[in-house]
Amino acid sequence: MISVEEALAEILSHVQPLEPETVPILDAQGRVLAEDIVSDIDIPPFDNSAMDGYAVRSPDVAGATPESPVGLAVLGSVAAGYVAEVRLEPGTAIRIMTGAPLPEGADAVVPYEDTSDFDRSKDDRLEAPADEIQVRVAVGARDHVRPMGEDVRKGERVMACGRVIRPQEIGVLASLGRESVLVHRQPKVAILATGDELLDVHEPLVPGKIRNSNEYTNAALVTRTGGIPIRLGVARDTEAHLTERIRTGLQRGADLFLTSGGVSVGDYDVVKDVLGSEGQMQFWQVRMKPGKPLAFGLLPGGVPLIGLPGNPVSAMVSFEQFARPAILKMLGHADLAKPEVRAVLDEPLTNSGRRAFVRVIVSRKEGRYHARTTGEQGSGVLTSMSKANGLAIVPEEIYYVEEGSEVVVQMLDWPEGMSL
Ligand code: AMP
Ligand code: MG
């Protein structure tokens, strides 16, 4: 049997980041930059006011105090989006709004609150501003001025290749005047369930049959990870049908295949035979529970295939350990691991010499994370995944974990409202 790390390393050695494509910035959310972003402008592009108030020459008001204010003649007003047409001469001021360019001759801004153009009883400006104002507080050069280039300097590298695009990166790109951006392409992931017992969701249950849940879980996992699922439906447990489905997926341009079922030791586990003849496959026993059987290999054209186990919980746990990192790597991500926390176990756990991934519910109590199991842990009990928000990891060599001891939990989700 091989370890989880050995299996993952082998899989990752066969997948590479996909080639870049250009997408509109709003479509780049969650994607990974495939270019360095260098600014060809200063942001802000000009010195501007950080406050609503009066643009002044700071030496004029150097001695201003509430007791002996300094009077200045108001030459006019400048709003954001406009440029003052007059130059500030000694003894004058220009009314200025936040974001408006600093008028020529001015070197500082006095906020309204520090002038006679302010009604303290209403905490607001005077209704009818006067032609002359009294400045009650001194300002130094550059006070309340946002200097040109404060945010970004012309020629600066603002983001490097590999950056994951969030809303704030989209905003920065917009402020740089970028309509589109180069990101790694999303992998098309072919999803193929195998098994004569499988019915689709709309089909009535008949004796011996069950519904095909893996196709849906896998498609949703692929989407959530950032890939594009290509659903190939169910392959019957015959070599001919499975071969036909795999060829269809290749024709549809799959970058990665995810199959489920047919990789263990049953009589009808034909995936093994087909994959052996269609490509170069390896069949592994991974030292983990659930998820011991796993297949991996390359189809014609070097397209990787991950053969997940059939049991719905095993398939999901194996997806998180092997398929998710592979998809993330194809998307250009450097951070491939799921977030982990250390949690206090609220009940004891037993283990059997493989790495256990125990479905748990993590909650926060008195400043610590606590984990309790979701109950029945059978690898066919998919509701155990539905109840869980984490997988408690019990190492191979640990056979018993006492209640009250700490375990590492791989978080499946970060529940809304759970503090760090
Ligand atoms: P297998 O590895 O093909 O023997 O499948 C192991 C178990 O998983 C069997 O009980 C199957 O019925 C079940 N199984 C396989 N594929 C699916 C699927 N797509 N949806 C739900 N259960 C499945
Ligand atoms: Mg099967």
Q: Per residue in 213-263, pLDDT tens?
A: 999 999 999 999 999 999 999 999 988 999 999 999 999 999 999 999 988
The pair of three-digit structure tokens given for residue 219, joined into one six-digit string? 């498609």
Q: What pLDDT score was predicted for residue 395? A: 98
Residues with CB under 6 A from ligand 1: 193, 195, 197-198, 210, 212-215, 260-262, 264, 266, 309-312
Phi, psi of 113 (to 5 degrees): -55, -25
Residue 270 pLDDT > 90 = no
How much is the average pLDDT of 337-349? 97
Q: Which atom of ligand 1 is nearest to the CA of 194?
A: 16
Distance 312 CA to ligand 1 centre (A): 7
Residue 410 pLDDT > 90 = yes
Q: Which atom of ligand 1 is nearest to the CA of 309?
A: 2
Distance 233 CA to ligand 1 centre (A): 14
Q: What pLDDT score was predicted for residue 276? A: 77
Q: What pLDDT score was predicted for residue 268? A: 66
Mean pLDDT of the chain, nearest integer? 95
> DSSP characters for 342-400?
EEEESS-EE--SSEEEEEEEEEEETTEEEEEE-S---TT-THHHHH-SEEEEE-TT--E
Q: What pLDDT score was predicted for residue 279? A: 79
| pLDDT range class, residue 101, cuts 50, 70, 90 | very high
| pLDDT range class, residue 201, cuts 50, 70, 90 | very high
Residue 287 pLDDT > 80 = yes
List own/partner pairs for 270-279 with CB under 8 A and 24 or more apart: 270/194, 270/237, 270/238, 270/239, 270/242, 271/194, 271/242, 271/295, 271/307, 273/239, 274/239, 274/242, 274/243, 274/246, 275/299, 275/305, 275/307, 277/243, 278/243, 278/246, 279/305
Q: What pLDDT score was predicted for residue 181? A: 98
Cα–Cα dist 211/213, whole Å: 6
Distance 108 CA to ligand 2 centre (A): 76
| pLDDT range class, residue 283, cuts 50, 70, 90 | confident
Name the residue at shortest CA distance from atom 15 of ligand 1.
310
**Best mutation site among 214, 316, 379 for ligand 1 pocket (most ligand atoms within 8 Å of CB):** 214
Higher pLDDT, 267 or 317: 317
How much is the average pLDDT of 120-141? 88
Query: Which amino acid belongs to residue 153?
Result: R
Q: Please say whether the dihedral angle defined by the alpha carbons of residues 290, 276, 199 and 214, taken in this order, is positive or negative.
A: positive
> Which residues does 55 contact at the CB level (< 8 Å), separation at least 6?
49, 78, 84, 88, 93, 94, 95, 96, 102, 103, 106, 108, 109
Q: What is the 3-state composition of the chain as percent helix, strand, coil, each rounded to the nearest 5?
A: 20, 35, 45
| pLDDT range class, residue 124, cuts 50, 70, 90 | confident
Q: What pLDDT score was predicted for residue 376? A: 93
How much is the average pLDDT of 16-26? 98
